[in-house]
Structure formats: C-alpha cells, structure tokens
C-alpha cells in the first residue's frame, strides 16, 4: 500500500513538472538563445545574477567547486567540451560535478528509505544505498554523452541542407559571410545555434577561420571537420567557394545516408531487449496461463 502511494505521488509530481515545463518552454527557449553567447564566456556573471540563481544550481556549483578543485586541467577541459557538445551552455564543469554529487546522494537516500520502509534487512539496505549512490554518480555522465552523441549526429544530418543553401546564396553573388548569415536564418536546431554562435564570435572580432575552428572544437564530427577544412582551404588557396561547397554537398549526402543506414541496421538489435524481456513474457503469460491454470486445477482435484 505504501509503495503504491509513493508511486502515485511520484507520478502526479512528474505530470505536474512536465506540464509546467511545457507551459514555460517558449520562454525557456528564448532565454537560452539569448544567453548562449554570455554563457559561452563573453560576459562574467554579476552579483545580481548570482542572487537570482536558483538554490539547486547554486548548491551544485558550490559542491562542484569543492570537489572539482583537485581535478586535473585536462579532465576539466574534456568535461567542458562534452557539455558544449551536448548544448548545455549554462552548466560549468564544476556545476556538473555538483549535480552528480546531489544525484548520487539523493538516489542513495531515496532507495535506502524505500528499503527501510519495506522492513528489509540491514544488508539489503546497505546494498541499495551503495547501488543508488553509484547509479546517481555514473548515470549523469552516460546521459550527457548520449545527448552529445545525438546532437552531433543531428548536426551531421542537417549540414547538407546548410551547404545547399550556401551554394544557392553564393551563386547569387553574396559573400561567404553574408551567405552564411542568410542561410542560417532558415535553420532551427543545433547546427543553426552553432553557426549563429560562430557568426557572433566573428562579429566580436575573431576571424571567420578561428570562429569555425571554435565551432569544430564544440562539435567535433567528420562532416563539420570537412566543412571547416573546405572553407579554410578555399579562402587560403583562392578557389571558388561555391564550387567547393557544391562538391562537398555530395560527399556529405553520402555521409548522411551512411548514418541513416547505420541507425537502421542497429534497430533490430535495439528491439531485442524489449522483445525478449517485455513482449514475449507477456505473450507467454496470456497464451499459456489459461492452459497451465486448468492443468493445475485438474491435478489438484
């Protein structure tokens, strides 16, 4: 009874949280788009911004600063690169470590509380607490890597469309910077955000070559690497960039087709787990239970 009440409370809470997030999603997206450049490092947070910060991010930042101070510089750089690849502009590596600590502690306490209320042994309580702590510590990094991988795949899939728009605008007589600005106006997604950030860096004083290199560091993918290399080579060698983009578009379409075919080939393997552990047991119960029940009733009679 207590477990059913807990599940009901958690379900209602998740439903309310999702409803609140859906209502606030347009405002959140607008604030995220406006805050990307500032979060990337062009403006330091003021005291007023720190006072407006929510309690949980502030606590995570402080915990992360305590634990992250002894971390190696390379580990911090890798964490920052992973966060930028996942599109988490407003989270620093120290804050992410703090979130991992909070998730580990919270999940360990929650599982231990459930086991204690069920009246289980102390050994099981200790095991569930350790299991919850390890899960809360390692799960965020797996989720972050998965999000970064999906985002980079989406960028690779969207890049041929950007190059097609660039070819049209370049052949219309626009310069590369103007063509890039005009093409990115029609794009909504991670690639559009990355290109807008690169253009913003260029407007702030960086060269286009350096801005594109920074974009490559944030989302290091073969398609993005080929795009940046083609742009830099065409500018350094004086080759027509429109023709370079036209040739590159064909190669990137082949790359996109390979990505889609790879995902299609992985689908049967991904369906194996739900098929074996969720669908087939249910079918066996529905099909075999009436006959087994009748047989047991006959044997016990």
Are 212 and 230 a contacting pair, CB within 8 Å? no
pLDDT at 40 over 50: no
Classify burial at 85, counting beta carbons within 10 Å of its beta carbon; exposed 0-12, middle 13-18, buried 19 or more. buried
Task: Encode burial over 31-67: b for 16+ CB neighbours within 10 A, e otherwise.
Answer: eeeeebbebbeeeeeeeeeeeeeeeeeebbbebbeee
Q: Which candidate, 29, 155, 147, 35, places its Cα nearest to that of 96?
A: 147
Which of 31-35, 78-82, 107-111, 213-217 shows the lowest per-residue confidence on average (mean pLDDT)? 31-35
Helix, strand, or coil (residue 112): helix
Could you give the CA distance from residue 150 to residue 131 in angstroms, rounded to a whole number? 28
Spatial contact of 72 and 206, defined as CB atoms under 8 Å apart: no
Residue 23 exposed, middle or buried by CB count within 10 Å (0-12, 13-18, 19+): exposed
What pLDDT does residue 3 have? Answer: 53
User: What does the pLDDT read at residue 272?
Assistant: 83
Residue 231 has what pLDDT?
87
Cα–Cα dist 109/87, whole Å: 30
171: pLDDT confidence band, cut at 50, 70 and 90? confident
Q: Is the pLDDT of residue 225 over 80?
A: yes
Question: Is residue 101 scored above 70 in pLDDT?
Answer: yes
Structure tokens at 83: 């966060």
pLDDT digits (tens, 9 = 90+) for 241-262: 888 888 888 888 888 888 888 8
In the chain the domains, ranked by start, together with CATH numbers, are 154-259 (1.20.81)
CA distance 63 to 143: 20
Summary mean pLDDT of the chain: 78
pTM assigned to the model: 0.67
| Confidence class for position 167, pLDDT limits 50, 70, 90 | confident
pLDDT band at residue 208, thresholds of 50, 70 and 90? confident
pLDDT at residue 39 in the model: 46
Residue 43 has what pLDDT? 46
Find the mean pLDDT for residues 43-72: 56
CB 211 within 8 A of CB 199: yes
Q: How confident is the model at residue 64 (pLDDT cuts 50, 70, 90)?
A: low
Please give the angle made by the CA atoms of 107, 112 and 113, to the nearest 5 degrees: 100
């Amino acid at each position: 009874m207590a477990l059913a009440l807990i599940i009901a409370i958690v379900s209602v809470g998740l439903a309310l949280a999702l409803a609140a997030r859906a209502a606030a999603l347009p405002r959140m997206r607008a604030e995220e788009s406006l805050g990307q450049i500032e979060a990337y490092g062009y403006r330091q947070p003021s005291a007023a911004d720190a006072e407006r910060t929510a309690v949980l991010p502030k606590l995570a930042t402080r915990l992360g600063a305590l634990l992250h101070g002894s971390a190696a510089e390379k580990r911090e750089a890798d964490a920052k690169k992973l966060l930028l690849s996942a599109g988490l502009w407003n989270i620093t590596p120290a804050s992410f470590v703090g979130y991992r600590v909070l998730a580990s502690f919270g999940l360990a306490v929650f599982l231990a509380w459930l086991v204690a209320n069920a009246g289980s042994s102390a050994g099981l309580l200790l095991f569930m607490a350790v299991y919850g702590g390890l899960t809360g510590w390692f799960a965020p990094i797996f989720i972050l890597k998965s999000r970064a991988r999906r985002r980079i795949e989406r960028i690779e899939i969207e890049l041929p469309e950007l190059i097609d728009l660039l070819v049209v605008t370049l052949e219309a007589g626009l310069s590369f910077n103007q063509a890039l600005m005009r093409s990115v106006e029609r794009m909504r997604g991670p690639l559009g955000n990355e290109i807008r950030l690169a253009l913003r860096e260029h407007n702030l004083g960086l060269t286009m070559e350096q801005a594109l290199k920074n974009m490559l560091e944030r989302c290091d993918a073969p398609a993005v690497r080929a795009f940046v290399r083609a742009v830099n080579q065409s500018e350094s060698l004086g080759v027509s960039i429109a023709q370079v983009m036209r040739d590159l578009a064909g190669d990137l379409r082949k790359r996109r087709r390979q990505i889609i075919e790879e995902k299609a080939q992985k689908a049967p393997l991904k369906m194996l787990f739900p098929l074996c552990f969720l669908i087939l047991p249910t079918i066996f119960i529905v099909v075999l239970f009436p006959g087994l029940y009748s047989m047991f009733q006959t044997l016990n009679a």
